[in-house]
Chains A and B, each alone.
Chain A
């Protein structure tokens, strides 16, 4: 029953935010609802870890290991992004726009919490579609020419992807339903898969991979992602890049498990090929970016590819690497966007070439950007390094030498690409004299978010709490069955 308040709280907050109650009410309600949802998600995840069933509506809404991990990440990122919004969005003068922002923010969070909480695949499709549709307004929120363009590219390509995936969902339903009726859930789908015609399952999976791949930012339908993930207000970028794309990938991975459970079909080949090409193309695109928010956006394409590749390698170790990467990517990427947002507040430009010596202009933003860059690029001993290393080790252990070599090469290219740009921004000397280096004071809530979001990024590199480790194991099991 704990799932009801988790999902319901943002809805209540959306309602409060929409009412004209004063400038501080909407952000406070949003922050309170997200923090409460996070606390309850932790309780729910602990129950899952303890082996207790967490069921809201039997056969419709429940939580398993994989679902609990995703739910936890959605709630965590929604909370930090709500805190970051506090001062970032307050620059918006009109109280009406402020209310619209928070109302939409809460609805978006509500839809994202629904995805892992639901276990009926067709309803999950609706929830995923809702996360897309409810974030369109947020992407275009700045209402500039660029933001509107990003909003269009985002909505048209991803909603089209959803429509194509719908046929895949329906074909999946039809293929596994030859044997009569009964509940239709993720778990049952895996049980029904061996008896289903594997050709149909494979077509359904490919339709879902192509359609939802567009939503997850997988190559070749990734073109909207750097636009949307750079033009949206920073807290929204953190949510979109940190967890929204992962959420879609989570659904793809569920279906990959179904196809793998079938008599002869296998999703591994598809996942590895699409995953590796996403990593590769993103790695080369990272080198030539000129906008630092786009830099992190391309890094998201890279990481989606890494997770999909890891899932496609097969075997318990690689699957553990995949869910570990999901965890690290969500926490680190959201931190990166908060750092980028702090830099944007400090220097008021998104062009890499215009930012030099950020560490002198704003030590907090500069240090955060450097830490974020190192962490997301996979510098040891930070958490992303550990998960990427475990994926590579799993690939070698399974004798996928070509995949391992390509993955390692692309990750290293991306590593140098990211650090080359960030190093110039943080430490570089101003090329033209006269650029002011007067230190800029960041708002308190912004600094507070940076500190809070940095903690897990740093700590997870050295220490993993035992319950989290168990949860990751359970989540990895969810990929293999």
Chain B
């Protein structure tokens, strides 16, 4: 391993560490605004890792992926959400979470350890450079799923979904850097449509029910009709 690739590997490690840190922050913040900010940070670190891998693995396709991800994830999607969802919702604090924050962080830690064990089973990435992406991406995926389960506000739930997606893609850029470009381009556009549709649904809910605490909606169940 030359010095240059060692440098790239440690840079990628740094990006992965910060990516994972943003996932933890997503679990720990209560404010809707904060959730959105940490999602932006997480997406930026995904792009950074994609750029490093594009150079390190000589996968020029990843450059296009990084550019598109950079445009859509941290810029267009937050802009869209801000336009569609009322400002007051972003200032809201989530008081009613199923578990408190210290225990949530402990669970996130447990999920990260699980991810390290699980990633031994996944396909080996193209080089030593990308090895770190596997456990980190998998951890982000599991933490995202956990956030989704405990959050009750509409926007943090959506960001939980995006966290899962970012995690999957963080693994994806490492194990499948040669994915057909058309498919790679389709993923961020898909995210965009998800943001659009969930934004519309949030607005409809806000107008109709007067709250965006969608986790509290529970009138549909067996027996109750």
Contacts and interface: CB of A to CB of B under 8 A. Distances in A.
Given A123-B186, A166-B172, A148 B205 contact: yes
Given A126-B186, A163-B165, A174-B123, A152 B214 contact: yes
A56 interface: no
A8 B89 CA distance: 39
Interface string B35-46: 000000000000
A160 B171 contact: no
Contact of A156 (B148, B168, B169, B219): B148
Contacts of B1: none
Contacts of A199: 121
Contacts of B180: 120, 122, 184
Nearest to A127: B186
Contact of A126 (B122, B187, B223, B225): B187
Interface string A114-145: 00000010110110011001101100100111
Interface residues of A, number: 55
Contacts of B141: 163-164, 167
B179 interface: yes
A136 B203 CA distance: 13
Nearest to B126: A174
Contacts of A146: 219-220
A252 to B, nearest CB: 17
Contacts of B172: 166-167, 170
A288 B145 CA distance: 31
B83 interface: no
Contacts of B165: 163, 166
Interface string B142-177: 001100100000100100110011011101100110
Overall SS of chain A's interface: helix
Contact of A122 (B148, B179, B193): B179
A201 B209 CA distance: 45
B194 interface: yes
B98 interface: no
B118 to A, nearest CB: 8
B145 A148 contact: no
Contacts of B186: 122-123, 126
B204 interface: yes
A173 B194 CA distance: 24
Nearest to A60: B182
A61 to B, nearest CB: 11
Contacts of B169: 166
B18 interface: no
B200 interface: yes
B190 interface: yes
Contact of B176 (A164, A177, A227): A177
Interface of B: 121-123, 137-138, 141, 144-145, 148, 154, 157, 160-161, 164-165, 167-169, 171-172, 175-176, 178-180, 182-183, 186-187, 190, 193-194, 197-198, 200-201, 204-205, 208-209, 214, 217-220, 222-225
Interface of A: 60, 120, 122-123, 125-126, 129-130, 133-134, 136-137, 140, 143-146, 148-153, 155-156, 159-160, 163-164, 166-167, 170-171, 173-175, 177, 181, 184, 197, 199-200, 203, 226-227, 230-231, 285, 288-291, 294, 350-351
6 contacts: A148-B201, A151-B201, A156-B148, A163-B141, A167-B141, A184-B180
Given A134-B193, A159-B161, 17 more contacts: A120-B183, A123-B182, A137-B200, A148-B201, A156-B157, A163-B141, A163-B165, A163-B168, A167-B141, A167-B171, A171-B123, A174-B176, A175-B123, A226-B220, A230-B220, A231-B220, A294-B222
